[in-house]
Amino acid sequence: EAKKAGRGEQRVFNDAMNAVAKDALVIDGALRDAIEANEFYLVYQAITNAHTGKLTKVEALLRWNSPLLGPMPPDRFIPVAEDSGMIIALGTWVLEQACRQVGLWKHSVLDDVTISINVSAWQLADPQFVTLVSQALIRNGLSPHQLELELTERVLIEDAANVQTVLAQLRALGVGISLDDFGTGYSSLSYLTQFHLNTLKIDRAFVMDIEHSERSNSLVHAIIAMGHSLGLQLVAEGVETAGQAAILEKMGCHYLQGYHISRPILPDELLHFADGRAAPQAQPDFVI
Ligand code: C2E
Ligand code: MG
Ligand code: MG
Ligand code: MG
């Protein structure tokens, strides 16, 4: 009886905690000092050449372990950081941290790896952004072609004229531009020629069903054909099975990313992975 009551209390407590954690205001408050308190870190997910299997790029993914709220997924806290404008400081931290990491990988097996970083609309609108990027490259001894910025379709429509100018400046620097989650957003095909892109990342939603759905299969096929004819590199996101990897390779997709290759992992683990040892698959990526 007492045990039962205890469990009930526990549940009430958890529900209350969840309600609190759901509150954007609480997340916003907890975010304020989180950079200074060292609560953020980056994990890195391998992107391999579909044909050779060689690790060519890595995507940096932000993790926040809040002492108050516990581990918080980026899908929860990034929108809050965008609303408060804190994404500028946070995005700058990510840029610097990721470039520093690639600098540290120099003269290792990861010597010439390309790093992909997710960038919000707010960051692109910041007049300092191009300067911040070039300073981060210089400070950490990276060549510009080692950096790729991932944008979503939403970013492109928000302030199209300005975005076009900023992307042209970044491309002139030698930095790559990737269109993330392709196919899920507003997907006006005119974006593909209007903006200075080099890479399309095919969203997980299509890759997921490629083995069993004729529709998804045709759609991915069409995206790849279109990418080829526009001279774009193609990355398939969310590749979880060997079957998906084989189909994508056969369709001419250049790069693969997903749990089938590796989960997002810590820098040392990525070094081991690049060195030919298996990536740890045991923990859900969110915990590390
Ligand atoms: P994204 O850029 O599309 O990143 C891919 C997401 O898919 C990541 O989730 C990754 O962990 C997950 N993923 C990778 N492979 C697989 C797979 O095979 N199966 C499944 N089910 N999932 C897979 P994550 O790390 O939770 O990030 C979610 C989103 O948060 C990212 O989507 C990105 O839009 C955003 N994000 C993450 N880090 C940053 C950052 O530093 N800055 C900004 N602005 N956004 C970020
Ligand atoms: Mg991304
Ligand atoms: Mg994506
Ligand atoms: Mg996404």
| pLDDT digit string, tens, across residues 229-244 | 999 999 999 999 999 9
Q: Compare 191 and 171 and report the one with higher pLDDT.
A: 171
What's the gap in Å between 238 CA and the centre of ligand 2? 11
pLDDT of residue 277: 66
240 within ligand 1 shell (Cβ under 6 A): yes
DSSP 187: -
Rounded to an integer, what distance in angstroms lies between the CA atom of residue 190 and that of residue 199? 15
The minimum-distance atom of ligand 1 relative to the CA of 239 is 18
Is ipTM beyond 0.90? Answer: yes
DSSP, collapsed to helix, strand or coil, labels residue 129 as: helix
Give the tens place of pLDDT for each residue, 115-153: 999 999 999 999 999 999 999 999 999 999 999 999 998
Q: In which element (H, E) is residue 182 found?
A: strand 176-182
Ligand nearest to the CA of 61: 1
Task: Tell me how many degrees the CA angle 158-220-110 measures, rounded to the nearest 5.
Answer: 80
Nearest CA to ligand 1 atom 20: 238
Nearest CA to ligand 1 atom 23: 238
| All residues at 6 or more sequence positions from 174 whose CB lies less than 8 Å from its CB, including other chains | 143, 144, 145
DSSP 81-127: HHHHTTHHHHHHHHHHHHHHHHHHTTTSTTTT-EEEEE--HHHHHST
Tokens coding 196: 């200075």
Ligand nearest to the CA of 238: 1
What's the gap in Å between 180 CA and the centre of ligand 2? 5
For ligand 1, mutation pick of 40, 84, 118, 235 (most atoms within 8 Å of CB): 118
Helix axes 242-251, 214-229, angle to 10 degrees: 40
284 within ligand 1 shell (Cβ under 6 A): no
In this model, does residue 24 exceed pLDDT 70?
yes
Tokens coding 89: 């400081």
285 within ligand 1 shell (Cβ under 6 A): yes
Nearest CA to ligand 1 atom 25: 61
Q: Compare 98 and 23 and report the one with higher pLDDT.
A: 98
Percent composition of the chain: helix, strand, coil (DSSP 3-state, to 5): 50, 20, 35
The radius of gyration computed from the CA coordinates of the chain, to the nearest angstrom, equals 20
Backbone angles phi, psi at 243, to 5 degrees: -60, -45
pLDDT of residue 160: 77
Which pTM value belongs to this model? 0.90
For ligand 1, mutation pick of 61, 86, 120, 239 (most atoms within 8 Å of CB): 61
Could you tell me which of 82, 40, 36 has the C-alpha nearest to residue 60? 40
In this model, does residue 288 exceed pLDDT 70?
no
Tokens coding 38: 């060292």
pLDDT of residue 33: 93
Ligand nearest to the CA of 45: 1
The minimum-distance atom of ligand 1 relative to the CA of 42 is 41
265 within ligand 1 shell (Cβ under 6 A): no
Give the tens place of pLDDT for each residue, 34-47: 999 999 999 999 99
**CA diameter of the chain:** 70
Ligand 3 (ion): which residues have CB within 5 A? 180-181, 237
Nearest CA to ligand 1 atom 27: 74
pLDDT of residue 282: 45
Backbone angles phi, psi at 71, to 5 degrees: -65, 130
Rounded to an integer, what distance in angstroms lies between the CA atom of residue 122 and that of residue 124? 6
In this model, does residue 190 exceed pLDDT 90?
no
Q: Yes or no: say if 44 and 270 are a contact pair by the CB < 8 Å rule.
A: yes
